[in-house]
Amino acid sequence: MDLQIIQKDLLEQYKMTVNEEALFTAFNQLEDASLSTDEFSFYTSVASVYSSKIEGESIELDSYIKHKRFRIEFQPDYTRKIDDLYLAYQFASKNKPDKKTFAGMHTILARHIVSTNWLGKFRNQNMFVTTKDGRIEYFAASPFEVPSEMDKLYADLKVLLATELTISETFFFASMIHIVFVKIHPWNDGNGRSGRLFEKWFLSQKLGSKAWFVQSEKYYYTQHETYYNNIRALGLEYQHLDYSKALPFLLMLAKSVTDKE
Protein backbone atom coordinates (compact mmCIF):
# COMPACT_ATOMS: atom_id res chain seq x y z
CA MET A 1 0.00 0.00 0.00
CA ASP A 2 1.18 3.47 -0.90
CA LEU A 3 -0.11 5.68 1.91
CA GLN A 4 0.51 9.41 2.15
CA ILE A 5 -0.07 10.32 5.80
CA ILE A 6 -0.94 7.13 7.70
CA GLN A 7 2.23 5.43 8.87
CA LYS A 8 2.68 1.66 8.83
CA ASP A 9 5.91 1.40 10.85
CA LEU A 10 4.13 0.02 13.92
CA LEU A 11 1.92 -2.47 12.07
CA GLU A 12 4.09 -5.55 12.60
CA GLN A 13 4.65 -4.76 16.27
CA TYR A 14 0.91 -4.19 16.63
CA LYS A 15 0.14 -7.56 15.02
CA MET A 16 2.59 -9.30 17.35
CA THR A 17 0.93 -7.64 20.34
CA VAL A 18 -2.73 -8.17 19.44
CA ASN A 19 -4.05 -11.73 19.63
CA GLU A 20 -5.70 -12.06 16.23
CA GLU A 21 -7.76 -15.10 17.20
CA ALA A 22 -9.01 -13.53 20.42
CA LEU A 23 -9.93 -10.31 18.61
CA PHE A 24 -11.71 -12.24 15.85
CA THR A 25 -13.66 -14.33 18.38
CA ALA A 26 -14.62 -11.39 20.59
CA PHE A 27 -15.67 -9.27 17.63
CA ASN A 28 -17.84 -12.01 16.14
CA GLN A 29 -19.56 -12.53 19.48
CA LEU A 30 -20.86 -8.95 19.41
CA GLU A 31 -24.59 -8.65 18.94
CA ASP A 32 -27.22 -5.98 19.25
CA ALA A 33 -28.92 -5.31 22.58
CA SER A 34 -32.45 -6.51 23.29
CA LEU A 35 -33.48 -2.87 23.91
CA SER A 36 -32.83 -1.98 20.28
CA THR A 37 -35.76 -1.64 17.90
CA ASP A 38 -36.17 -0.61 14.27
CA GLU A 39 -36.38 3.00 15.50
CA PHE A 40 -33.85 2.87 18.34
CA SER A 41 -30.25 1.62 18.57
CA PHE A 42 -28.94 0.94 22.05
CA TYR A 43 -25.29 0.91 20.98
CA THR A 44 -25.62 4.10 18.96
CA SER A 45 -26.93 5.65 22.17
CA VAL A 46 -23.94 4.29 24.09
CA ALA A 47 -21.55 5.71 21.48
CA SER A 48 -23.25 9.10 21.41
CA VAL A 49 -23.47 9.46 25.18
CA TYR A 50 -19.92 8.40 26.03
CA SER A 51 -18.27 10.26 23.16
CA SER A 52 -20.12 13.35 24.39
CA LYS A 53 -19.14 12.69 28.02
CA ILE A 54 -15.48 12.62 26.96
CA GLU A 55 -16.04 16.19 25.77
CA GLY A 56 -17.53 17.21 29.12
CA GLU A 57 -21.26 16.76 28.55
CA SER A 58 -23.16 15.82 31.71
CA ILE A 59 -25.60 13.42 30.03
CA GLU A 60 -26.15 9.99 31.61
CA LEU A 61 -26.83 6.86 29.57
CA ASP A 62 -29.90 5.86 31.58
CA SER A 63 -31.48 9.27 31.07
CA TYR A 64 -30.67 9.29 27.37
CA ILE A 65 -32.20 5.85 26.83
CA LYS A 66 -35.37 7.04 28.59
CA HIS A 67 -35.39 10.03 26.25
CA LYS A 68 -34.58 8.17 23.03
CA ARG A 69 -36.24 4.78 23.54
CA PHE A 70 -39.20 5.65 25.74
CA ARG A 71 -39.83 9.28 24.62
CA ILE A 72 -39.43 10.73 28.11
CA GLU A 73 -38.88 14.46 27.83
CA PHE A 74 -35.90 16.32 29.29
CA GLN A 75 -34.74 19.90 28.91
CA PRO A 76 -33.57 20.37 25.29
CA ASP A 77 -30.10 21.53 26.36
CA TYR A 78 -29.59 18.19 28.13
CA THR A 79 -30.03 16.05 25.01
CA ARG A 80 -29.64 18.12 21.82
CA LYS A 81 -25.88 17.65 21.24
CA ILE A 82 -26.21 13.93 21.92
CA ASP A 83 -29.20 13.74 19.58
CA ASP A 84 -27.09 15.39 16.87
CA LEU A 85 -24.28 12.89 17.39
CA TYR A 86 -26.77 10.01 17.33
CA LEU A 87 -28.00 11.25 13.95
CA ALA A 88 -24.39 11.52 12.72
CA TYR A 89 -23.78 7.86 13.60
CA GLN A 90 -26.97 6.94 11.75
CA PHE A 91 -25.80 8.97 8.75
CA ALA A 92 -22.44 7.19 8.80
CA SER A 93 -24.09 3.77 8.93
CA LYS A 94 -25.87 4.53 5.66
CA ASN A 95 -23.02 6.16 3.73
CA LYS A 96 -19.50 5.39 2.57
CA PRO A 97 -16.87 7.65 4.17
CA ASP A 98 -15.20 10.13 1.83
CA LYS A 99 -14.49 13.85 1.65
CA LYS A 100 -18.11 14.82 0.96
CA THR A 101 -19.81 12.53 3.46
CA PHE A 102 -17.31 13.33 6.20
CA ALA A 103 -18.16 17.02 5.86
CA GLY A 104 -21.81 16.03 5.92
CA MET A 105 -21.28 14.07 9.12
CA HIS A 106 -19.73 17.13 10.82
CA THR A 107 -22.64 19.27 9.63
CA ILE A 108 -24.95 16.96 11.57
CA LEU A 109 -22.97 16.37 14.77
CA ALA A 110 -21.79 19.96 15.24
CA ARG A 111 -25.12 21.66 14.59
CA HIS A 112 -25.30 22.90 18.19
CA ILE A 113 -21.52 23.20 18.68
CA VAL A 114 -20.23 25.59 15.99
CA SER A 115 -21.89 28.40 14.08
CA THR A 116 -23.79 27.47 10.93
CA ASN A 117 -21.19 28.94 8.56
CA TRP A 118 -18.52 26.57 9.94
CA LEU A 119 -20.47 23.32 9.68
CA GLY A 120 -18.49 20.86 7.56
CA LYS A 121 -15.82 23.47 6.86
CA PHE A 122 -12.18 23.56 7.90
CA ARG A 123 -11.00 26.17 10.35
CA ASN A 124 -9.04 29.20 9.09
CA GLN A 125 -7.13 30.04 12.26
CA ASN A 126 -4.48 28.43 14.42
CA MET A 127 -5.72 25.80 16.84
CA PHE A 128 -4.28 24.60 20.11
CA VAL A 129 -5.60 22.25 22.76
CA THR A 130 -5.47 23.31 26.39
CA THR A 131 -5.66 21.49 29.70
CA LYS A 132 -8.41 22.22 32.23
CA ASP A 133 -6.09 24.63 34.04
CA GLY A 134 -5.38 26.59 30.85
CA ARG A 135 -2.00 25.18 29.82
CA ILE A 136 -1.36 24.55 26.11
CA GLU A 137 -0.73 20.88 25.55
CA TYR A 138 -0.86 20.62 21.76
CA PHE A 139 -0.52 22.84 18.66
CA ALA A 140 -2.53 21.39 15.76
CA ALA A 141 -1.74 21.64 12.05
CA SER A 142 -1.73 25.20 10.77
CA PRO A 143 -4.87 26.29 8.88
CA PHE A 144 -2.76 26.48 5.72
CA GLU A 145 -1.82 22.80 6.09
CA VAL A 146 -5.25 21.45 7.00
CA PRO A 147 -6.75 21.07 3.48
CA SER A 148 -3.71 19.25 2.07
CA GLU A 149 -3.30 17.06 5.17
CA MET A 150 -6.97 16.08 5.07
CA ASP A 151 -6.71 15.35 1.32
CA LYS A 152 -3.88 12.95 2.16
CA LEU A 153 -6.04 11.28 4.80
CA TYR A 154 -8.97 10.94 2.42
CA ALA A 155 -6.63 9.48 -0.22
CA ASP A 156 -5.30 6.95 2.31
CA LEU A 157 -8.85 6.10 3.33
CA LYS A 158 -9.71 5.32 -0.30
CA VAL A 159 -6.69 3.03 -0.60
CA LEU A 160 -7.46 1.24 2.67
CA LEU A 161 -11.11 0.72 1.78
CA ALA A 162 -10.01 -0.96 -1.44
CA THR A 163 -7.39 -3.17 0.24
CA GLU A 164 -8.09 -6.57 1.78
CA LEU A 165 -7.09 -6.49 5.45
CA THR A 166 -7.07 -8.95 8.32
CA ILE A 167 -9.12 -8.05 11.38
CA SER A 168 -6.05 -6.92 13.32
CA GLU A 169 -4.88 -4.82 10.36
CA THR A 170 -8.35 -3.31 10.15
CA PHE A 171 -8.29 -2.33 13.82
CA PHE A 172 -4.78 -0.93 13.42
CA PHE A 173 -5.71 1.32 10.52
CA ALA A 174 -8.99 2.40 12.13
CA SER A 175 -7.00 3.58 15.15
CA MET A 176 -4.46 5.28 12.91
CA ILE A 177 -7.24 7.14 11.10
CA HIS A 178 -8.54 8.26 14.50
CA ILE A 179 -5.26 9.63 15.81
CA VAL A 180 -4.10 11.19 12.53
CA PHE A 181 -7.41 12.99 12.26
CA VAL A 182 -7.42 14.36 15.81
CA LYS A 183 -3.82 15.50 15.38
CA ILE A 184 -4.77 17.47 12.25
CA HIS A 185 -7.76 18.86 14.20
CA PRO A 186 -9.44 20.36 11.10
CA TRP A 187 -12.71 21.68 12.54
CA ASN A 188 -13.27 24.64 14.83
CA ASP A 189 -14.88 22.16 17.25
CA GLY A 190 -16.24 18.63 17.20
CA ASN A 191 -12.88 17.03 16.38
CA GLY A 192 -12.92 14.45 19.17
CA ARG A 193 -16.46 13.31 18.38
CA SER A 194 -15.60 13.18 14.67
CA GLY A 195 -12.40 11.19 15.22
CA ARG A 196 -14.11 8.54 17.32
CA LEU A 197 -16.92 8.23 14.78
CA PHE A 198 -14.46 8.14 11.85
CA GLU A 199 -12.65 5.22 13.49
CA LYS A 200 -15.83 3.17 13.84
CA TRP A 201 -17.07 4.22 10.40
CA PHE A 202 -13.96 2.66 8.88
CA LEU A 203 -14.43 -0.51 10.95
CA SER A 204 -17.99 -0.86 9.70
CA GLN A 205 -16.91 -0.51 6.08
CA LYS A 206 -14.38 -3.32 6.48
CA LEU A 207 -16.11 -5.60 9.01
CA GLY A 208 -19.82 -4.98 8.60
CA SER A 209 -22.59 -3.86 10.90
CA LYS A 210 -21.19 -5.56 14.02
CA ALA A 211 -18.66 -2.72 14.16
CA TRP A 212 -21.41 -0.41 15.40
CA PHE A 213 -21.74 -2.64 18.51
CA VAL A 214 -18.11 -2.00 19.53
CA GLN A 215 -18.20 0.07 22.73
CA SER A 216 -15.00 2.00 22.00
CA GLU A 217 -16.40 5.35 23.09
CA LYS A 218 -17.41 3.91 26.46
CA TYR A 219 -13.98 2.32 26.84
CA TYR A 220 -12.23 5.59 26.02
CA TYR A 221 -14.41 7.38 28.57
CA THR A 222 -13.74 4.88 31.36
CA GLN A 223 -10.03 5.10 30.47
CA HIS A 224 -10.13 8.80 29.60
CA GLU A 225 -6.90 9.76 31.39
CA THR A 226 -5.04 6.97 29.58
CA TYR A 227 -6.80 7.89 26.33
CA TYR A 228 -5.62 11.49 26.50
CA ASN A 229 -2.15 10.57 27.77
CA ASN A 230 -1.71 8.22 24.82
CA ILE A 231 -2.76 10.94 22.36
CA ARG A 232 -0.53 13.46 24.12
CA ALA A 233 2.49 11.14 23.99
CA LEU A 234 3.13 11.88 20.31
CA GLY A 235 4.33 15.42 21.01
CA LEU A 236 3.44 19.06 21.45
CA GLU A 237 3.49 20.32 17.85
CA TYR A 238 1.97 18.88 14.69
CA GLN A 239 5.17 19.33 12.68
CA HIS A 240 7.16 17.24 15.17
CA LEU A 241 4.76 14.39 16.01
CA ASP A 242 6.47 11.09 16.78
CA TYR A 243 4.19 8.27 15.63
CA SER A 244 6.67 5.69 16.95
CA LYS A 245 5.05 6.44 20.32
CA ALA A 246 1.52 5.73 19.11
CA LEU A 247 1.29 2.01 19.95
CA PRO A 248 -0.40 2.42 23.38
CA PHE A 249 -3.12 4.49 21.73
CA LEU A 250 -3.49 2.12 18.78
CA LEU A 251 -4.03 -0.84 21.10
CA MET A 252 -6.98 0.76 22.88
CA LEU A 253 -9.55 0.06 20.17
CA ALA A 254 -8.80 -3.67 20.16
CA LYS A 255 -8.87 -3.70 23.96
CA SER A 256 -12.34 -2.19 23.88
CA VAL A 257 -13.46 -5.44 22.27
CA THR A 258 -11.25 -8.04 23.97
CA ASP A 259 -11.02 -6.69 27.52
CA LYS A 260 -13.87 -7.96 29.64
CA GLU A 261 -15.47 -5.68 32.22
Taking residues 48-76, report their average pLDDT.
Answer: 93
Residue tagged active-site, from 112, 185, 224, 240: 185
Known catalytic membership, residue 185: yes
Phi, psi of 55 (to 5 degrees): -90, 5
The mean pLDDT value of the chain amounts to 96
d(CA 202, CA 83) in angstroms, rounded, equals 22
Query: pLDDT grade, residue 4 (50/70/90)?
Result: very high
Give pLDDT tens digits for 8-59.
Answer: 999 999 999 999 999 999 999 999 999 999 999 999 999 999 999 999 999 9
Domains of the chain by residue range: 11-258
Give pLDDT tens digits for 105-132.
Answer: 999 999 999 999 999 999 999 998 887 7
Whether residue 193 is annotated as binding a ligand: the answer is yes
Query: pLDDT grade, residue 136 (50/70/90)?
Result: confident
Find out whether 112 and 80 touch, Cβ atoms under 8 Å.
yes
Q: What is the pLDDT of residue 261?
A: 58
Query: pLDDT grade, residue 148 (50/70/90)?
Result: very high
d(CA 187, CA 117) in angstroms, rounded, equals 12
pTM summary value: 0.96
Whether residue 195 is annotated as binding a ligand: the answer is yes
Whether residue 189 is annotated as binding a ligand: the answer is yes
Given CATH 1.10.3290.10, say whether it is the number of domain 11-258.
yes
